[in-house]
Amino acid sequence: MTITMKMTVGKGIRLGVFIILGIAIFAYAIYIIGKQRNLFGNTFTVSGIFRDVSGLKVGSNVRYSGINVGSVSNVHLLNDTLVKVQVTLEDKVHQFIREDSRMEIGTEGVMGNKVVNITPGTSTKPVVEEGATLGTIEAVKMDEILDELKKSSVNTTVVTQNLAEITSKINQGEGIFGKLFTDTSFTNNLDQISRNTANLTRNVSTITSKINHEEGVVGKLLSDTTLAKEFDQAGNNLLESTRNLKGFTQKINRGEGMFGKMFTDTAFTRNLDETARNLTYTTKQARAISENLARITRHIESGKGVMNKLLVDSTFADSLDGTLKNINKTARELDQAAETVRKNWFIRTFSTKKQPPEQQQIDTTKNRPK
């Protein structure tokens, strides 16, 4: 110990730098954490009332369009069934939170932290005021899903059957397209159908995956895992057919080649008239159905109705099983049909030369072989 332990000015400075740096690190941490929790800067609060907050805690993140914009500042029971969740948000998102924006409780990451999602509202509605109470979207309940599933699965069968019919008609109906594709509304319709169907399929697949994950809730029904699998597959098949259908209609829309031939063949066009009318009718029908379906799925999402009956009615499970098998089959057929059409179309497309863009629509119609 031969160092003189005298305190010199140099040592004093070094000690001072050491202490200041250390405190700066701490202050930085405080600042960053505080910023994340919106303790600094201007904030505003809104709240929402839920039946079930699924373990949401004070400090949980709040997201708007997937961006962290604030945190939960208070969770407390209003009465025996309702929970009020108050969130503090950064001022800069205030302008985006409309009166019809809604709060929803979701889950983030694999660790399953609960978050509050705020959905954007309509831009025409006024911006919410400080302390306002937003509408909420309750998490979907299992029994409600099943109730709606019964209706939607029946509907799906109908839709897919119709679709199969349509596509097979398209497949057979050579020359029909002449008139058909001059009618832009039809293609729009078709597009709409496929969009709706895609939505439907997504919804169905969501439901099935939910069912798959919530094993054991509905006793017998769900112990039959093959059922769920079938349902799942049906969804997948349906999705694929829809995709095919969509690709097909897009092609039509783009209307490559085949204009001259079609035009010269007047007899064909006349002949086509009736078929076209039929098809239009079918399309309208299909559209109505898919709209129905969309409504139903919305219904499911908004989570109305209870399914006591389902739970006691064991025959339902059997019938559901049958239905699903049907769906599966139809979807496969639909898929094949779409595939055939696409292939045919391709061959024909490539055999003719391209036309100027403004004539494409007509072009397509003319192209049909006699």
Partner 1 sequence: MKNDQGANILSDITGLVRFTVRVVRSMMDPPFENREMMKQSYFIGYKTLPLIAVTAFILGLVLTLQSRPVLVDFGAESLLPGMISVSIVREIGPVVTALICAGKIGSGIGAELGSMKVTEQIDAMEVSGTNPMKYLVSTRVLATTLMLPILVFFADAIAFVGSYLAVNLHGEIAPQLFLTNAFAPLHFYDLIPATIKTFIFGFAIGVIGSYKGYTAGFGTEAVGRAANSAVVVASVAIFIIDMLVVELQHSMEMLNF
Partner 2 sequence: MSAKLSEHTGEQVVKLEHLKKSFPDNPVLRDVNLTIPKGENAVIIGQSGIGKSVLIKCMVRLIEPDAGRIEILGHQVNSLEEEALNGLRKKIGFLFQGNALYDSMSVRENLEFPLVRNKMAGTKKQLERQVIQALDNVGLRQTIDMMPSELSGGMKKRIGLARTLILQPEIILYDEPTTGLDPITSKEISQLIIDLQRHYHTTSIIITHDISCVKITANTIHVLKDGSLYTSGTYNELKQSKDAWINNFFN
Residues that bind partner 2 (CB under 8 A): 1-2, 4-6
Q: Tokens 């800067």 correspond to what residue?
A: 41
DSSP codes, 50-63: ES--TT--TT-EEE
Q: How far is the CB of 28 from partner 1 (least distance, A)?
A: 9
Q: How far is the CB of 31 from partner 1 (least distance, A)?
A: 10
Q: How far is the CB of 56 from partner 2 (least distance, A)?
A: 59
Quick one: 297 exposed, middle or buried, by C-beta within 10 A (0-12, 13-18, 19+)?
A: buried
Q: How far is the CB of 87 from partner 1 (least distance, A)?
A: 15
Answer with the entry of partner 2, partner 1, none that 2 interacts with (C-beta below 5 to 8 A by kind). Answer: partner 2
Q: How far is the CB of 60 from partner 2 (least distance, A)?
A: 55
Q: Hey, what are 15's tokens?
A: 């000690």
Answer with the entry of partner 2, partner 1, none that 23 interacts with (C-beta below 5 to 8 A by kind). Answer: partner 1
Measured from the CB atom, is 2 or 122 closer to partner 2? 2
Q: Tokens 């969740």 correspond to what residue?
A: 85
Measured from the CB atom, is 56 or 89 closer to partner 1? 56
Contact 230, 321 (CB under 8 A): yes
Q: How far is the CB of 320 from partner 1 (least distance, A)?
A: 34
Q: How far is the CB of 90 from partner 2 (least distance, A)?
A: 56
Residue 148 to residues 83, 204, 309, 319, Cα–Cα distance (Å): 27, 11, 12, 15
Answer with the entry of partner 2, partner 1, none that 172 interacts with (C-beta below 5 to 8 A by kind). Answer: none
The C-alpha atoms of residue 209 and residue 228 are separated, in whole angstroms, by: 8
Contact 200, 156 (CB under 8 A): yes
Q: Reduced to 3 states, what is the DSSP secondary structure of residue 115?
A: strand
Measured from the CB atom, is 6 or 76 closer to partner 2? 6
> What single letter denotes the amino acid at residue 292?
N
Measured from the CB atom, is 15 or 25 closer to partner 2? 15
Answer with the entry of partner 2, partner 1, none that 67 interacts with (C-beta below 5 to 8 A by kind). Answer: none
Answer with the entry of partner 1, partner 2, none that 288 interacts with (C-beta below 5 to 8 A by kind). Answer: none
- Of residues 368, 364, 366, the one with CA closest to residue 171: 368
**By the criterion CB under 8 A, which residues form the site for partner 1?**
5-7, 11-12, 14-15, 18-19, 21-23, 25-26, 29-30, 32-34, 36-37, 57-59, 109-111
Q: How far is the CB of 17 from partner 1 (least distance, A)?
A: 9
Answer with the entry of partner 2, partner 1, none that 7 interacts with (C-beta below 5 to 8 A by kind). Answer: partner 1
Measured from the CB atom, is 111 or 312 closer to partner 1? 111
> What single letter denotes the amino acid at residue 284?
K
The C-alpha atoms of residue 16 and residue 4 are separated, in whole angstroms, by: 20
Q: How far is the CB of 73 from partner 1 (least distance, A)?
A: 12
Query: Which runs of E-coded beta strand occur in the chain?
Result: 43-50, 61-64, 67-77, 83-90, 102-108, 113-119, 133-137
The C-alpha atoms of residue 285 and residue 255 are separated, in whole angstroms, by: 25
- At residue 63, φ and ψ (nearest 5 deg) are -120, 145
Measured from the CB atom, is 77 or 127 closer to partner 1? 77
Q: What is the distance in angstroms between the CA of the first residue and the CA of the last residue of the chain? A: 109
Answer with the entry of partner 1, partner 2, none that 37 interacts with (C-beta below 5 to 8 A by kind). Answer: partner 1
The C-alpha atoms of residue 159 and residue 289 are separated, in whole angstroms, by: 6
Answer with the entry of partner 1, partner 2, none that 322 interacts with (C-beta below 5 to 8 A by kind). Answer: none
Return left, alpha or beta for 127; rule: phi > 0 is left, psi -120 to 50 is alpha, else beta: beta
Measured from the CB atom, is 62 or 334 closer to partner 1? 62
Measured from the CB atom, is 106 or 173 closer to partner 1? 106
Answer with the entry of partner 1, partner 2, none that 111 interacts with (C-beta below 5 to 8 A by kind). Answer: partner 1
